[in-house]
Amino acid sequence: QVQLVESGGGSVQAGGSLRLSCAASGYTNSRYYMAWFRQAPGKEREGVAGFDSSGSTSYGDSVKGRFTISQDNAKNTLYLQMDSLKPEDTAMYFCAAGWGLLPTEWLLDRRSYAYWGQGTQVTVSS
């Protein structure tokens, strides 16, 4: 049973930083891909940052240069370092995972992912 558990969300002022974590368990495939998505009220879920087991990464245009996705293999944990946060970054953030090979251009497509966490809320005030 694959489980993804997010943590690290919270409230922060504009310009501040947060680091989200996603603890993953229950998978054994050496080829995998993972990503962070977010969804604000009334909006569609959008891809923020993606990562695959070959080391390829992909970032949404609105977060390039501000967010960094990384992984700690020893801890089976995916991270999202978010710097220079803006009020428009306010959303529920979700961790997602899938297995196998995936073209890099599909890393931020939510249809690529079979497994999802429950989400962690990020609120940025101006």
Q: What is the mean pLDDT of the chain?
A: 95
Query: Which tens digits make up the pLDDT trace of 11-47?
Result: 999 999 999 999 999 877 788 999 999 999 999 999 9
Helix (H) or strand (E) run with residue 62 in it:
none
75 pLDDT tier (thresholds 50, 70, 90): confident
Q: To 5 degrees, how large is the angle CA 44–CA 120–CA 38?
A: 25
Report which of residues 100 and 13 the model is more confident about: 13
Antiparallel, parallel or unpaired: β 77-82 and 32-39: unpaired
User: What residues contact residue 47 under an 8 Å CB cut-off, 6+ apart?
Assistant: 35, 36, 37, 58, 60, 107, 108, 109, 110
Tell me, what DSSP letter sits at residue 55?
Answer: S
